Amino acid sequence: MIFGKKKFLAAVGDFEGAVRAQDAEAAEQAFAKLGRAAAKAGDRELREAGPRLAALLPSVPHGPRGTVAVLAGACVERGADAAACAPGILASAREAFTAADEFCTRWADTGGGDLPDPDDEPTEEIIGRTGIEPAAGWFSLPQWEMACVAMLNDPAVRRLSEGTAELLERVERVAEASGHEFKCLAYALRVLDDEPLVVLHRATGTGYALRMSGIGDNFQLHTLLADVLIGGKHVPGRAPSAREAAVCRDAPGQVETEGAFNLVGPDGTWIFNEGTPTDIPVVDGTRLLVLDPPPYRRCWPAGRFFPAMRGDLVLDRVLDAAETASWFAGLEPAKG
């Protein structure tokens, strides 16, 4: 095992040297060794290798670049510094999605038809229609999605707002052009941290100031709202069990839960569990959510959309009567 660990860092060094020397043959050989040695590497070696591999990405040819990013992401999952790895990975991901956007344009301009599955391999015919770099971008998108999500699981990376909004814009543009969702990456880029949330419980006329972090979708938010507000004895209803709440914060696994509310915007439109907390409208600088009775019984597996991302929802304070009334004054009735 010690030999395997040393072999991995030696392979990283060989790959770095070959890439920087622009020695294609040596880089290809070192790349093959890198993949084989990674499986036997220990945590210490992976922690060291992650930032080195991420920093190398701009110099890596388009073909293997996504695979190197996935390897750097695996290093982060084993303890490498995500904040150190993220800038190189997110920047290269932006380039890949830009190339993929060009791929979609050229595909449409050369006859259209169903786009190839990005999980497949490019053929000579495809490259002939779109060009090498656009095709490389398109067919590497699943790898970039995987690598970026590994970075974005870390709140320190999500606080590095530089470039993430631009990446989300490019992801959404490619998704619109192609019909492929890239849902995991889009949702990860929308995760909010330390985000204020005002919640109004219509039936009791009460209001609450909360703060949410690391919540991947509204299923998770829904369960945590029930835990904080019903479990905290603030509003009536069925409180989630301790286990149901824990898996929505940081415990592993999933467990069946039942919906306690209907999530509604201040204009009365439903906010669906399948969406994300960014769907909640901002009113006077704060996201405003209304809780109505559930229109029917809904059950789902409580847990986290991103199993490696810690989520939380905390109650800052119960709003006083005057403040609550001012928030309620602008509400519209719920719409079916």
Question: In one letter, which amino acid is 226?
Answer: A
Pull the structure tokens for residue 43. 């945590």
How confident is the model at residue 1, as a pLDDT? 35
CA distance 172 to 85: 23
User: Any idea what DSSP says for residue 36?
Assistant: H
Cα separations (Å) of 293 from 102, 156, 260, 311, 334?
47, 37, 7, 25, 10
What ranges do the domains of the chain cover? 42-190, 195-328
Question: What DSSP element (H or E) covers 301?
Answer: strand 299-302
Residue position matching structure tokens 């970039």: 144
Contact 72, 149 (CB under 8 A): no
Q: What is the pTM of this model?
A: 0.93
Up-side HSE of residue 292: CA atoms within 13 Å toward CB? 19
Tell me the residue type at 301.
P
Identify the pLDDT of residue 336.
67
Q: Give the pLDDT of the chain (336 residues) as one tens digit per residue.
A: 343 457 899 999 999 999 999 998 999 999 999 988 988 899 999 999 999 999 999 999 888 999 999 999 999 999 999 999 999 999 999 999 999 999 999 999 999 899 999 999 999 999 999 999 999 999 999 999 999 999 999 999 998 866 789 999 999 999 999 999 999 999 999 999 999 999 999 999 999 999 999 999 999 999 999 999 999 999 999 999 999 999 999 999 999 999 999 999 999 999 999 999 999 999 999 999 999 999 999 999 999 999 999 999 999 999 999 999 999 998 998 886
